[in-house]
């Protein structure tokens, strides 16, 4: 049987943009050893846009690449190869309304043949395709045949605005099949797992009902509530994995007792007692973290003066090995929960966070009252949502882009932020680029900062 091909993950060394907004030339070398890079600069210099362009390049948002003004956006990898996109702009034929910009972008990479991609003229969109936009892009409320309102900001968007901003969320069959992408480009854009955490991260707009095209009920769910449900599912999967392993080990237990290994027969009483004691401590820790049900007593009376009968040592050695495997399934999840709980409990005043495998995230006030998640302050929600995202919703090897992590955070929390993020990167094997205005986020880590520069000819 042929083995599946392993996707090659690349690490980025530098990101650069030429003539961004027709003004700026930015080069951002990543702090790869520290795994955290901070982009800093005045408003309007393109901090957020650099994150969005990087996300668009690997997140396959061609419409965003076509709509943002720049000449070239380039990524340099640690293996001395490059991947970049350049663009040209020209006018298409005169329509009944006006000249429609027809944008063309050109993808290139080291040793690869350039590939051009041209935007689709708006008049080619069918009404049926437009109605499907309503179902797929939840922040938008359609208020006219080719007009939408962003329910989060109240901004009115034209069809062109929607395509430019949200085209990456629409499948090709809804907006036109387009040209077949070369294999090298598809693989290149998959080689950097990437996630963008934007400033609006507390609410997730949803549609609760639909009566006709322009009349629908829009609701917003708190992301902390969604995270709590997600954690319940994560724990459920781990428990199911543990149950499957337990069934397998229990089924073979009698045969292994009858024919123990030499190592199991030769284990000393001290070695066995030490292992059993460590397993009890581990079991207690998992119960305290909410991953296992609370139980009284211990599975084995560790520390008793009765000793272990010689004919039972091998049985207990097999039991200890099995228990070690069963509990080991929870190791990674326990580390993440432990870190999240430590970060949150060190920040939140007069309340404590616990984990419940049926309820997820549970907050209790100092007087014992259970607090609804949506009653947490905006700063508390920002902190919880962001660190939950980093710990539980990203895959190892990812590049995470964070825009303005300081939102709603107290100065003391901002000063502690980088130390917490460093612990997360060590545990989850991710790289982070964050854009901030806050000197308190930077704190004493100026070595991680890349300052965006104004044009050489000065302010315009």
The CATH number linked to 74 is 3.40.50
In 10 A of CB 58, how many CB atoms?
19
Write the DSSP assignment of 205-269 as a string of letters. Answer: EEEEEEEETTEEEEEEEEHHHHHHHHHHHHHHHHHHHHHHHHHHHHHHHHHHHHS--HHHHH--H
Terminal C-alpha separation, the chain: 63
What 261-267 contacts at long range (C-beta under 8 Å, 24+ apart), as own/partner pairs, is: 263/317, 264/314, 264/317, 264/318, 264/321, 265/313, 265/314, 267/313, 267/314, 267/317
Q: Which of 308, 329, 350 is the last residue before a domain boundary?
A: 329
| Joined tokens for residue 421 | 């993020």
Task: With respect to residue 293, please indicate whether it lies within any of the assigned structural domains.
Answer: yes
317 and 230 housed in the same domain: yes
CA gap 441, 409 in Å, rounded: 10
Torsion of CA 64, 230, 152, 210, to 10 degrees: 100
Instruction: Please indicate, yes or no, if residue 136 is contained in any of the structural domains.
Output: no
C-alpha dihedral, 38 to 44 to 50 to 56, nearest 10°: 140
271 assigned to some structural domain? yes
**Is residue 139 in some structural domain?**
no
Q: Quick check: is 452 in a domain?
A: yes
The 10s digit of each residue's pLDDT in 223-262 is: 999 999 999 999 999 999 999 999 999 999 999 999 999 9
Q: Please count the CA atoms within 13 angstroms of the CA of 432 that sit on its side-chain side.
A: 30
Are 400 and 322 in the same domain?
no
* Containing structural domain, residue 425: 32-120+189-193+394-460
**317 and 236 in a common domain:** yes
Residue 453 lies in a domain: yes
Q: How many CB atoms lie within 10 A of CB 97?
A: 8
Question: Which pLDDT does position 131 carry in this prediction?
Answer: 72
The closest alpha carbon to 59, from 398, 392, 361, 327, belongs to 398
Q: Give domain status of residue 339, yes or no.
A: no
Give the end of a domain, one of 281, 310, 329: 329
Cα–Cα nearest to 380, from 167, 182, 221, 222: 222
- The DSSP code sequence of 338-404 is HHHHHHHHHH-TTEEEEEETTTEEEEEETTSPEEPGGGS-HHHHHHHHHHHHHHHSS-TT-EEEEE-
Spatial neighbors of 46 by CB under 8 A, at least 6 apart, are 17, 20, 21, 24, 26, 452
Residue 291 in contact with residue 355, Cβ under 8 Å? yes
Under 8 Å CB-to-CB from 107, ≥6 apart: which residues?
Answer: 83, 84, 85, 114, 115, 116, 117, 185
Residue 137: C-alpha distances to residues 171, 194, 356 (Å) = 12, 20, 32
Q: What phi-psi label fits residue 102: left (phi over 0), alpha (psi between -120 and 50 degrees) or beta?
A: beta
pLDDT at position 162, please?
Answer: 76
Give the Cα separation of 373 and 361 in Å (integer). Answer: 8
How far is the C-alpha of 194 from the C-alpha of 196, rounded, in Å? 7
Among residues 329, 353, 369, the one where a domain terminates is 329
As a residue count, the chain comes to 460
- Assess contact for 100 and 134: CB atoms under 8 A: no
Provide the Cα torsion 306, 308, 309, 312; round to 10°: 140
How many structural domains does the chain have?
2
Q: Are strands 99-109 and 82-94 parallel, antiparallel or unpaired?
A: antiparallel
Rounded distance between C-alpha atoms, residue 394 and residue 287, angstroms = 25
Residues 6+ positions from 17 with CB-CB distance below 8 Å: 24, 25, 26, 46, 50, 53, 70, 72, 73, 74
DSSP secondary-structure letter at 9?
P
Q: What is the pLDDT along the chain (460 residues), one digit of tens a residue?
A: 344 344 467 999 999 999 999 999 999 999 999 999 999 999 999 999 999 999 999 976 777 788 788 999 999 999 999 999 998 654 434 343 444 444 689 999 999 999 998 765 555 556 666 677 777 777 787 777 777 877 766 677 777 677 666 766 665 555 544 567 899 999 999 999 999 998 888 877 654 444 444 445 545 678 999 999 999 999 999 999 999 999 999 999 999 999 999 999 899 989 999 999 999 999 999 999 999 988 766 666 544 556 677 778 899 999 999 999 999 999 999 999 999 999 999 999 899 999 999 999 999 999 999 999 999 999 999 999 999 999 999 999 999 999 999 999 999 999 999 999 999 999 999 999 999 999 999 999 999 999 999 887 654 4
Do 232 and 320 share a domain, yes or no? yes
Is 107 inside a domain boundary?
yes
Other Cβ atoms within 10 Å of 70 Cβ, number: 22
The four Cα atoms 338, 339, 342, 346 give a dihedral, to 10 degrees, of -170
pLDDT, residue 6, reads 42
- pLDDT per position as a tens digit, 24-77: 999 999 999 999 999 999 999 999 999 999 999 997 677 778 878 899 999 999
Judgement on whether residues 325 and 417 belong to the same structural domain of the protein:
no
């Amino acid at each position: 049987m042929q083995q599946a091909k392993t996707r090659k993950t690349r690490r980025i060394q530098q990101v650069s943009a030429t003539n961004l907004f027709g003004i700026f030339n930015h080069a951002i070398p990543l702090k790869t050893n520290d795994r955290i890079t901070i982009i800093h600069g005045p408003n309007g210099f393109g901090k957020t846009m650099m994150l969005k362009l990087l996300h668009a390049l690997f997140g396959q948002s061609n419409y965003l690449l076509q709509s943002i003004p720049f000449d070239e956006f380039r990524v340099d990898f640690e293996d001395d190869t490059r991947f970049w996109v350049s663009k040209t702009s020209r006018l298409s034929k005169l329509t009944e309304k006006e000249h429609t910009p027809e944008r063309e972008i050109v993808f290139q990479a080291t040793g690869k043949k350039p590939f051009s991609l041209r935007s689709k003229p708006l008049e080619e969109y069918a009404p049926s395709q437009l109605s499907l936009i309503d179902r797929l892009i939840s922040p938008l409320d359609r208020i006219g045949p080719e007009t939408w309102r962003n329910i989060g900001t109240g901004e009115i968007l034209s069809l062109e605005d929607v395509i430019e901003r949200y085209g990456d969320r629409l499948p090709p069959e809804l907006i036109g099949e387009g040209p077949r992408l070369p294999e090298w480009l598809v693989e290149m854009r998959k080689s950097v797992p990437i996630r963008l955490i934007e400033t609006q991260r507390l609410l997730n707009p949803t549609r609760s009902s639909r009566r006709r095209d322009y009349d629908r009920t829009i609701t917003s769910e708190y992301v902390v509530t969604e995270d709590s449900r997600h954690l319940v599912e994560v724990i459920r999967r781990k428990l199911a994995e543990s149950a499957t392993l337990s069934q397998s080990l229990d089924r073979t237990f009698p045969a292994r007792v009858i024919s123990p290994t030499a190592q199991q027969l030769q284990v000393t009483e001290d070695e066995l007692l030490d292992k059993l004691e460590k397993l009890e401590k581990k079991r207690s820790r998992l119960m305290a973290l909410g991953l296992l049900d609370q139980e009284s007593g211990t599975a084995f009376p560790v520390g008793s003066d009765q000793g272990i009968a010689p004919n039972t040592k091998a049985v207990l050695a097999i039991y200890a090995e099995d228990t070690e495997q069963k509990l080991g399934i929870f190791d990674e999840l326990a580390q993440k929960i432990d870190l999240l709980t430590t970060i949150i409990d060190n920040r939140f005043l007069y309340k404590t966070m616990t984990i419940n495998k049926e309820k997820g995230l549970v907050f209790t006030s100092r007087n014992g009252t259970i607090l609804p998640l949506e009653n947490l302050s905006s700063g508390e929600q920002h902190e919880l949502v962001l660190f939950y995202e980093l710990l539980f919703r990203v895959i190892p090897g990812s590049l995470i882009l964070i825009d303005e992590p300081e939102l709603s955070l107290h100065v003391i929390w901002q000063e502690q932020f980088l130390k917490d993020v460093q612990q997360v990167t060590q545990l989850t094997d991710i790289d982070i680029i964050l854009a901030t205005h806050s000197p308190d986020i930077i704190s004493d880590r100026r070595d991680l900062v890349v300052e965006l520069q104004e044009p050489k000819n000065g302010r315009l």
